[in-house]
Amino acid sequence: MFPKRKRHVPQRSCIICNKKAPKQQLLRLVLDEKGRVLFDERQRILGRGAYVCPAHACVAKLFTKHGDKRLRWAFKGRVRELPQKTIDRILATIESREGGNATDE
């Protein structure tokens, strides 16, 4: 009968490399009320989000001066800290995605 319509897939940009990708393929970061960056693994936490590619290069740059600058830009300067617990969760997620759709540029 009628051809199936393609569903809209939300696109987001990585704050490090500006590469656009489907929202579900990127890692989402949010701020808590104390200004700490949290990893939103299920992409459900309310609030302003920032997205990062699951590529090792982009995640590694999060912990540099450039990454800090991009986080402050994405969260409008309200970042106080990037806790070690958050870093560990991001790295564990990347490791678990290694066999899947994670890319390393």
CATH topology of domain 11-97: Hypothetical Cytosolic Protein; Chain: A; (3.30.1230)
In sequence order, which ranges of 8-64 are alpha helices (DSSP H)?
A: 56-62
pTM here? Answer: 0.84
Report how far apart, in Å, the C-alpha atoms of 23 and of each of 66, 69, 80 are.
23, 22, 25
Report the pLDDT value the prediction gives residue 105, as an integer from 0 to 100.
46
Residue of 68, 105, 60 whose CA lies nearest to 87: 60
C-beta separation of 23 from 58 below 8 A: no
Report the pLDDT value the prediction gives residue 6, as an integer from 0 to 100.
86
The domains of the chain are located at 11-97
Report the pLDDT value the prediction gives residue 99, as an integer from 0 to 100.
63
Low-confidence stretches of the chain (pLDDT < 70) are 1, 99-105
Report the pLDDT value the prediction gives residue 101, as an integer from 0 to 100.
55
C-alpha torsion 16→37→87→24, nearest 10: -60
Report the pLDDT value the prediction gives residue 102, as an integer from 0 to 100.
45
